[in-house]
Structure 1
Amino acid sequence: MHDSADREDLGEWPNPLGMEGIEFIEYATTRPQALGQVLEMMGFRPIARHRSREVLLYRQGRMNVVINAHTSSMPRSVQPTETPVIAAVALRVRDAAAAYRRALDRGAWAVPTHVEVMELNIPAIHGVGTSRIYFVDRFREFSIWDVDFVPIPTVDKQPPAVAGLHWFGLVQYIGIDRMADWCEFYRELFGFAELPDEQRFGILPKGRILRSPCGTFYLQLIEPEPGIVDIEGSESLQRLGLGTPDVPAAVAALAARGVEFVASRQVHADERGALTRSWLGDVMFELVHHDVPADAGASA
């Protein structure tokens, strides 16, 4: 953490929270082994277990994915269900306490924490649905994984990324006529910026694209199409976007690992992107053409 003098620095600048990307994505499910098999097909490897809870850490390159099968007694928590859901996203920030306080000052709802012995208190606010948004400032030489998790013996802690895969962003489903509300939420609390409609990525260009203030990932907000599907009241984080400098190479590498991709007249793999078929009810990944970040070789 940083001293109080540093914590006064967060203000009205393009990156108000000192954001530096995504630290981890968390899934909640009662079928952790089944989801783990899916992640391994996608190139992730299990590298550590939580000290006291049924939680596993998977990694490839700089991407961390947590599978949480622990039933929480805290109110408004995402409880594990048979169909995996994206329960949380953790943002890397310069100072977690300062970022948390600024978010609350801007109207965010705090998530109460219950910390066990030998566990870190990671501040969090409520996100879409029952999901959480964590603020993490320990991600360099000493990280949150060094405290709460025990490495799995004989496993490489830094498994390489398949075909340069890295975080590109998340897709969020929103309710009808909620686009302005969610754009304001991400703009006011975090400093996200809306991209022009003509600036699009991948093969599923619907909705509104927001760029993170650190420029390392994007959010895609998608409203239901009237008369086709109504998700009012069930807003959620729907899928992960993975960037790769060579989509066909990534598709070939993942296909060799058993991953199947959607192939129809409307949606099919090409140089811009690809969409995996869904597993376990609703788990899928979207590949997007995107160069590997300059610091992608840094330790997670």
Structure 2
Amino acid sequence: MATDTTSQQLEKIVPEAEDFLPLLGTDYVELYVGNAKQAAHYYQSAWGFQPVAYAGLETGVKDRVSYVLQQDKIRLVLTSPLQSGGEINQHIDAHGDGVKVVALWVDDATKSYQETTKRGAKSYMEPKTVSDENGSVTLSGIHTYGETLHIFVERKNYKGVFMPGFKPWNPDYKTEEVGLKYIDHMVGNVGWNEMNKWCEFYAKVMGFAQLISFDDDDISTEYTALMSKVMSNGNGRIKFPINEPAEGRKKSQIEEYIDFYNGAGVQHIALATDNIIETVTQLKNRGVEFLYVPENYYDDVLDRVGKIDEDLAPLKELGILIDRDEEGYLLQLFTKPVLDRPTMFFEIIQRKGAQSFGKGNFKALFEAIEREQEMRGTL
């Protein structure tokens, strides 16, 4: 993980955020999965992630195995249980494969724990320091929505490959990266009337501020609707939109997610790129499936968003959506669910100045999701 100077780390771009932790970025995202070895192969082959580190029987871990993969600043940890019973199996049984930990990079994991728990966060793990010959990492953790956790990671005294307990993983098989840079935002789906509760949690417990909110007038189609608020930390590196269902004629994507995930959880991870045409082309060539956007979306899109740098033809061919705000425009595209349950998916996003989240695309996006729901028989 690249480090920055302190002045960069602490530069505040969201003035309303108290930012008392503060957070330096996303350290890693850990998924509990049924078969980490095969999941690792998928993220290497299809997504261009590079092998970094491994923990399991060979490193003295008896109950689980974890593979660490990285692409630029995005780090994934894929963890599977090695024995029956236990909390990892229970999590997979309840939710299927899914995000368990959103780990946050901090300067001081002890202070982060103290600041959040004294404001009402439920403790998951008191501060502990783990060490090996490469130094030490201090970890602490709190609960957030559903069974999701935030682990605070303080790694300024560590020079090893990931953290103590892991060894370098350097297989013969490696793939080319696809141009993914960092996590732009991570979206949580929560139950009916829970959005404000969790937005207040991020404001009060973690010092975030609300960037933007969308109601069911903004995010609705003929059939379904949802409501969403976007919470951000002070330096803008951590952005968590929180979605809840809204009343509609049919079952929304949020309700479908909660039904199949059995509760609240991470719905999608938005990955940033500097060249969305190149990135999406490579992902499609490697078998990643994206939502279908009808060709008529492009008939008047430039009337709505104005001049853009890219040719429209490749955007139309790939189904990439375009939206503009006061600060610029953005390009975005959403995968189909990457798991058997219709739960987690990814967004690919390229920002050309825009700091928003594609409000102008919501209707086209939701109609695309509804087409998928209809095929699944869950609309």
TM > 0.5 fold call: yes
| Pair 117,17 (structure 1): closer, same or farther in 2 beyond 3 Å | closer
Q: 1:260 aligns to what?
A: 289
Instruction: Choose from 168, 171, 188 the match for 2:187.
Output: 171
1:67 aligns with 2:71: no
| Pair 13,172 (structure 1): closer, same or farther in 2 beyond 3 Å | closer
What CA distance in whole angstroms lies between the structure 2 residues aligned with 1:182 and 1:125?
14
What CA distance in whole angstroms lies between the structure 2 residues aligned with 1:20 and 1:117?
20
What CA distance in whole angstroms lies between the structure 2 residues aligned with 1:66 and 1:180?
30
> Post-superposition shift, 1:269?
2.1
What CA distance in whole angstroms lies between the structure 1 residues aligned with 2:274 and 2:143?
33
What CA distance in whole angstroms lies between the structure 2 residues aligned with 1:103 and 1:56?
29
Instruction: Choose from 43, 68, 82 the match for 1:39.
Output: 43
TM (norm. structure 1) is 0.78
| Pair 35,196 (structure 1): closer, same or farther in 2 beyond 3 Å | same
CA contact (8 A) 1:123 1:134 kept: yes
What CA distance in whole angstroms lies between the structure 1 residues aligned with 2:75 and 2:88?
24
Q: 1:30 aligns to what?
A: 34
> Post-superposition shift, 1:280?
2.6
| Pair 55,246 (structure 1): closer, same or farther in 2 beyond 3 Å | same
Amino acid at match of 2:91: Q
| Pair 155,118 (structure 1): closer, same or farther in 2 beyond 3 Å | farther
Q: 1:295 aligns to what?
A: none
1:223 aligns with 2:244: yes
Amino acid at match of 1:270: L
Instruction: Choose from 69, 73, 98 the match for 1:85.
Output: 98
> Post-superposition shift, 1:224?
1.5
Amino acid at match of 2:103: A
Deviations 1:219-270 (A, max 9, x none): 1111123242444871111221111223222211222222221113489423
Aligned-pair Cα RMSD in Å: 3.6
Amino acid at match of 1:47: V
Mean CA deviation greater in 269-278 or 22-31? 269-278
Amino acid at match of 2:112: A
CA contact (8 A) 1:244 1:291 kept: no
CA contact (8 A) 1:103 1:189 kept: yes
Partner of 1:184, secondary structure, is helix
Instruction: Choose from 159, 181, 184 the match for 1:142.
Output: 159
Alignment of 1:116-155 (within 5 A): 122-138=139-155, 142=159, 145-153=162-170
Deviations 1:30-77 (A, max 9, x none): 122332233121121222111324111111111110011136987799
Gaps in structure 1 of 5+ consecutive residues: 1-11, 293-300
Instruction: Choose from 204, 219, 236 the match for 2:265.
Output: 236
| Pair 118,136 (structure 1): closer, same or farther in 2 beyond 3 Å | closer
What CA distance in whole angstroms lies between the structure 2 residues aligned with 1:114 and 1:71?
26
Q: 1:104 aligns to what?
A: 117
> Post-superposition shift, 1:153?
3.4
| Pair 79,143 (structure 1): closer, same or farther in 2 beyond 3 Å | farther
> Post-superposition shift, 1:212?
2.4
Instruction: Choose from 332, 337, 356 the match for 1:273.
Output: 332
Amino acid at match of 1:91: L
Amino acid at match of 2:193: D
Q: 1:210 aligns to what?
A: 231
What CA distance in whole angstroms lies between the structure 1 residues aligned with 2:187 and 2:130?
35
What CA distance in whole angstroms lies between the structure 2 residues aligned with 1:195 and 1:13?
10
Amino acid at match of 2:187: V
Amino acid at match of 1:213: G
Partner of 2:19, secondary structure, is coil
TM (norm. structure 2) is 0.63
CA radius of gyration, larger in: 2
Quick one: percent identity of the two aligned structures?
A: 23
> Post-superposition shift, 1:112?
4.2
Q: Which has the higher contact order (CA 8 A, sep 6+)?
A: 1
Mean CA deviation greater in 165-174 or 34-43? 34-43
Mean CA deviation greater in 244-253 or 176-185? 244-253
Mean CA deviation greater in 144-153 or 53-62? 144-153
Instruction: Choose from 184, 191, 198 the match for 2:207.
Output: 191
